């Protein structure tokens, strides 16, 4: 039982920090949204996308 607890934090998606191209959650629609639409919708103030990241590595 030496497994460390990882704290997850919701962080607003940032194209300069988060690697969306290599992301694959296994859900085609979500992968496509994050890669193709999330930033455009944010830039147009239509939505804000948050991602869950490990506290020690927010990218």
Residue 47 has pLDDT above 90, yes or no: yes
- Report if pTM > 0.85: no
The tens digit of pLDDT for each residue in 8-34 reads 889 999 888 888 888 899 999 999 999
pLDDT band at 5 (very low <50, low <70, confident <90, very high): confident
With tokens 């455009």, the residue in question is: 40
Q: What's the CA gap between 55 and 1, in Å, rounded?
A: 21
């Amino acid at each position: 039982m030496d497994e460390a607890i990882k704290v997850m934090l919701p962080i607003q998606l940032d194209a300069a920090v988060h690697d969306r191209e290599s992301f694959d959650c296994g859900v085609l629609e979500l992968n496509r949204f994050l890669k193709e639409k999330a930033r455009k919708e944010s830039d147009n103030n239509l939505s804000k996308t948050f991602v869950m990241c490990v506290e020690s590595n927010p990218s």
